[in-house]
Structure 1
């Protein structure tokens, strides 16, 4: 007899499915002019560096805000790792390393650095180190992130 409740496609990982040292890699994502203009319009970052295509500042042509790089990578990681299982973003420490420009393709490499079940059943604090690289493999950002993740349904749930 078929399972009356088939598994949900696109569900993230539960904390019990993660172990310290486990590694993941995201797909690549090309940063477009549309990404840049939409982000600066939404956030109000109307800096000439970002909105004037003829501006050639210290970072060179067409850099994007580090906050946009972080947001794009987090979006990819959320879909792949914690969609539906993430309960809270607890902390993040972002370190930009090099400019990301319109036309660059970025991806993330993730390493689980900590998994600590909480005293409240069915959840754990999970820490990860994230390295963001461009199409040439150059590190453009790294960050540490700590999240609260759900546990497998029915295991130590309150």
Structure 2
């Protein structure tokens, strides 16, 4: 499945379910705007000289929170959750590497688990979302748990 996937109801998820999102390139404007907006005004994101000379990265990186936000945006943009999603319940995430200015991100989504709830019209789905750069390098992996509607009659 790719971008603009049909709505996926709780019932549609099986062991073989998978989805790949569109891509997004991280710009300097993105990094600086995000860091400023949320108050991450630290040298690691804002000071080019510090980044170049005093970090192991040597060039501007994106905050992990920005990478997660872009990943969720790419997942939502597929359309597969539209009208089916009731709530985002949580995430467990691990950064696996830096995201540099100019990297292009894409998310691979697979089913991790699903279970029914006590209410017959909904269930819980946990997906494993792997964010990769243009080279295929994984940079973030997270388990996202959502409450979804079951397929309407």
- Residue among 17, 21, 29 paired with 2:12: 17
* Counterpart secondary structure, 1:26: strand
For the pair 1:26 / 2:24, whether they are aligned, the reply is: no
Distance in 1 between residues matched to 2:83 and 2:46, nearest whole Å: 35
| Number of corresponding residues | 146
User: Offset of 1:20 from its aligned partner?
Assistant: 2.5
4+ residue segments displaced more than 4 Å: none
Distance in 2 between residues matched to 1:12 and 1:63, nearest whole Å: 34
CA-based RMSD of the aligned residues comes to 1.6
Alignment correspondent of 1:5? none
Alignment correspondent of 1:78? 76
> Residues 20-99 of structure 1 correspond to what in structure 2 (within 5 A)?
20-54=15-49, 55-56=51-52, 57-80=55-78, 81-99=80-98
> Residues 129-140 of structure 1 correspond to what in structure 2 (within 5 A)?
129-140=128-139
* Counterpart secondary structure, 2:22: coil
Alignment correspondent of 1:101? 100
Given that 1:12 and 1:79 are in contact with CA atoms closer than 8 Å, whether structure 2 keeps it comes out as no
Unpaired segments ≥5 residues, structure 2: none
TM-score, normalised to structure 1, is 0.85
Given that 2:23 and 2:74 are in contact with CA atoms closer than 8 Å, whether structure 1 keeps it comes out as no
**Bigger Rg, structure 1 or 2:** 1
Given that 1:20 and 1:115 are in contact with CA atoms closer than 8 Å, whether structure 2 keeps it comes out as no
Unpaired segments ≥5 residues, structure 1: 1-8
Distance in 1 between residues matched to 2:81 and 2:142, nearest whole Å: 17
Deviates more, 1:19-28 or 1:141-150: 19-28
Relative distance call for 1:24 and 1:61 in structure 2 (3 A) is: same
* Counterpart secondary structure, 1:130: strand
What per-residue deviation string (whole Å, max 9, x for no partner) do you get for residues 53-91 of structure 1? 232212331101011000001011122231332111122
Alignment correspondent of 2:144? 145
Distance in 2 between residues matched to 1:11 and 1:83, nearest whole Å: 9
